[in-house]
Amino acid sequence: MASGELASLWDAHVHLPAYADPEEVVASARRRGMRLVSVTVSPAEAAPNLKLRDENPSAVKCFLGIHPSEAVSMPNGLEELSPLWEAADGVGEVGLDPKYSEVSARSAQMELFKAQVEVAERARKPLQVHSRGAEGTCLDVLDGYSLGGLLMHWFEGEELLERVLSRPRTFVSFGPAILYSNKLLRVAGRCPLEAVLVESDGPVAFAALGGVEGPGLVPSVAFRLAEVWGRTLEETVLQLSLNAESYLR
């Protein structure tokens, strides 16, 4: 890396298939020297996501998964995904969220979550977990598996942070909400630098930031983390890049 040049930042969680023009999102990230981990919420997004990765192999990683919001509406979703797992770089976005439906032991969400964690374990692929409102239950499930890289995406379970950080090969990610949330600033301040990734969750838009969205916000997230950690932006970006590469390995 030439001096004065920033290491390449990874947006560790973005939904490229959810954009009207995902190619433009990728092109814009490439112009900034950024790379993207693109996740799916449904089997219908799988083929477009794989295509984006195949067309941009150095800039895009393709994760496949069925989101907890789709668990009840897609009883056959896993059958649709099963021939595609091998081509995926990782498994996500999967998880549990009581906002959408039941998350109890025999619920559709729980069955779907466990089946997809099993795929990640069997194939030794990195996993991305959505755990909003069910952080402890997600961790209870994950404890039953031997996983490669695990990302607890947009993790807000402050009281469970020690438990997350004591797991092997486990990362937490911060997104644009850290630009206005004191709680997330506090959580980030308690995280070891080597356990953190950054993300946009694009196209999720942030009302508190005037409705902006997308991977273009990730450098601001890195800048905020540099402030919290008392590091330079260059050091922080380098650390975040190393973390992403370690997670994706």
Binding string to Zn ion for residues 91 to 120, with x set by CB under 5 A, is what? --x---------------------------
Q: Could you tell me the smallest distance in angstroms from the CB atom of residue 182 to Zn ion?
A: 23
The secondary structure of the chain in percent helix, strand, coil, rounded to multiples of 5, reads 50, 15, 35
Which of 26, 93 has the CB closer to Zn ion? 93
Q: Assess 201 for contact with Zn ion (CB under 5 A).
A: yes
The residue count for binding Zn ion (CB under 5 A) is 2
Question: For residues 248 and 6, what is the distance between their CA atoms, to the nearest angstrom?
Answer: 20
- CB of 161: closest distance to Zn ion in angstroms? 20
Cα separation, 184 vs 188, in Å, equals 6
Q: Is 199 in the site for Zn ion (CB under 5 A)?
A: no
Ramachandran region of residue 245, left (φ > 0), alpha (ψ -120 to 50) or beta? Answer: alpha
Site string (131-170) toward Zn ion, x via CB under 5 A? ----------------------------------------
Torsions phi, psi for 113 (to 5 deg) = -60, -50
Which residue minimizes CB distance to Zn ion? 201
In 124-211, alpha helices (H): 135-142, 161-165, 182-189
- Indicate the residue among 129 and 225 with the shorter CB distance to Zn ion: 129
Q: How far are the Cα atoms of 14, 93, 122 from residue 200, in angstroms, in the given order?
A: 6, 14, 28
- Which residues in 74-93 contact Zn ion (CB under 5 A)? 93
C-beta of 4: minimal distance to Zn ion in Å?
A: 33
Q: Read off the tokens for 189.
A: 């301040």
What Cα–Cα distance (Å) separates residue 214 from each residue in 49, 92, 142?
A: 16, 18, 29
Q: How far is the CB of 2 from Zn ion (least distance, A)?
A: 34
Binding mask 33-72 for Zn ion (x = CB under 5 A): ----------------------------------------
**Contact residues for Zn ion, defined by CB under 5 A:** 93, 201
